[in-house]
Amino acid sequence: MAEKAAGGGVQSVERVFELLELITDAGGEVSLSELSSSTDLPLPTIHRLLRTLVTKGYARQLPNRRYALGPRLIRLGEGANKQLGALARPQLKHLVDSLGETSNMAVLDSDMVIYIAQVPSPHSMRMFTEVGRRAHTHDTGVGKAILAQLSNDAVRSIVARAGMPTPTEKSLKTIDELLAELDLIRERGYSIDEQEQELGVRCFAMAVPNAPTPSAISVSGPVSRVDEHFAEKAVPLLREAVRSIAEELNLTS
């Protein structure tokens, strides 16, 4: 078979989600043959899996015979969002109201972070981060805040799997740099993304302790506004926000 990664997972389920991800990656619309060249699955197999999705409403077939994501996925996505995002959003809103900068919440998903909630800044110049988007851990505020809660071994294996791209010259380049940075974060209790993801953008982030899924929240904006003075106001507010979120989480777990 393909890999040792079998691990007892149900093959057709894994495959069907792989297909859904590919459709999403392709911008929401693909032909059968495009899928078969992106995977190494035989064409009839892809067709049968998609057919199942289509009859259940999780995929749609367009008049041009291409396949798209189906409307029933919306509910599921919202449900997932609701779980974590709903209880965090009021806190993010409060941060934005107090600080004037965009606030995000993200969770760890195997070896990347996923943004699950966002309250945009009222400023016209602001970050553009989409809910649902995946990002690396080593070059984002939320990512580093989450990593700082894990063991160094866990961090090593995550970074080994995800790699360490360097989107800007400020990005951390080696695992050792990263581990040193994480020690600093553990000590002071919050992380800083110092233009590591995008030049001109600074971000302060803090992990949510004891979350069922490793999670963190952040505030971010242009370096001109998000400076040391900003941090003095932001850090206590972040601390209060994660405390409040953690409290709500523990009610249901």
DSSP class of residue 4 equals S
Binds DNA by CB under 7 A, chosen from 48, 56, 161, 233: 48
Q: Is 5 in the site for DNA (CB under 7 A)?
A: no
Distance, CA of 40 to CA of 36 (rounded, Å) = 6
Q: Does 19 bind DNA (CB under 7 A)?
A: no
Which of 4, 5, 10, 253 is in the footprint of DNA by CB under 7 A? Answer: 10
- Residue 146: name the closest of 209, 72, 76 by CA: 209
Query: Cα(229)–Cα(252) distance, rounded to whole angstroms?
Result: 37
Say which residues have a Cβ less than 8 Å from residue 86's Cβ, sequence separation at least 6: none
Q: Which is nearer to its own copies, 161 or 233 (CB)?
A: 161
Q: Does 251 bind DNA (CB under 7 A)?
A: no
Give the chain's radius of gyration (CA, Å): 20
Residue 130 interacting entry, from its own copies, DNA, none, C-beta within 5 to 8 Å by type = its own copies
- Give yes or no for residue 1 binding its own copies (CB under 8 A): no
Binding residue for DNA, selected from 28, 43, 78, 183, defined by CB under 7 A:
43
Task: State the residue for tokens 């969002």.
Answer: 81
* Residue 75 makes contact with its own copies by CB under 8 A: yes
Q: Which partner from the list its own copies, DNA, none does 32 bind, CB cut-off 5 to 8 Å by kind?
A: DNA
The torsion angle over the Cα atoms of residues 88, 110, 113 and 149, rounded to 10 degrees, is: 70
Q: Would you say 25 and 35 are in contact if contact means Cβ atoms under 8 Å apart? A: no
Binding footprint of its own copies on the chain (CB under 8 A): 7-10, 12-14, 16-17, 20-21, 23-24, 28-29, 48-49, 51-64, 68-84, 86, 107, 109-110, 114, 116, 130-134, 211-213, 249, 251-253
